[in-house]
Amino acid sequence: MPTRSKAAVLVAGIAAVVLAGASLSTWADSPARETQYVEVAESGRYFFVMLPAGTADDDWREARGYAYELKRDGSMEELWSVNGWYSFSTFLTRNGRHLVRMGPWASRPPNEELAAAFYTDGKEHTRYTVADLLEDTTNVRRSISHYQWELNGKGFPRLTSNDRLQILTIENVLITFDATSGELLKRQTYEN
């Protein structure tokens, strides 16, 4: 049986590590699977149910969401609904009438990619693209399949107790919106 040189074994080992790393980074650089979830308003009285496409027995083919009010007797009343889109991150205001939808896995050009959309009673009234929120779109962090324009973690994005949406961009700029109107209220450098 032929013996392998130490160099050949080393090269084979390095190749295996590189291929395994490439395979893991490709898997890690893929969008997450859409799942159903519930977003509860801070008041605890209202909630929003997000459903991905094809999740019900009723032949729904597109993603949709429903806002409900939880009554004192434990019954629920549907307030409004949306359909045709899925978001991994939504925020419902205290009164259950207003919803913020965060944009998808960013892969389209920044001037076309949704950053955030604002809804009242299920009707979209204001939207911002990634380009609307960044001072310089070349600051995004790119990967094989997408780019990152916001700094997730550090508690952002978040909806404050007074219905203000706060997003922290990759440029370390904290942007505050009125979640009920969609109005951009303030941009400021974020200081930890």
Range in 101-110, 125-134, 174-183 with the lowest mean pLDDT: 101-110
- Interatomic CA distance for residues 51 and 67, integer angstroms: 12
| 3: pLDDT strictly greater than 90 | no
- pLDDT band at residue 31 using 50, 70 and 90 as cut-offs: low
- pLDDT band at residue 154 using 50, 70 and 90 as cut-offs: confident
Residue 96, Cβ density class (10 Å: 0-12 exposed, 13-18 middle, ≥19 buried): buried
Token pair 């920044």: residue: 110
The model carries a pTM of 0.81
| 11: pLDDT strictly greater than 70 | no
| 16: pLDDT strictly greater than 70 | no
DSSP 156: B
- pLDDT band at residue 45 using 50, 70 and 90 as cut-offs: very high
Q: Which residue has the higher pLDDT, 121 or 26?
A: 121
Q: Are 106 and 100 in contact (CB under 8 A)?
A: no
Average pLDDT over residues 55-72: 82
pLDDT of the residue at 30: 65
Q: Which pairs with CB-CB distance under 8 Å and at least 24 residues apart come from 22-31?
A: 25/144, 26/144, 29/143, 29/144, 29/145, 29/146, 30/145, 31/104, 31/105, 31/145, 31/146
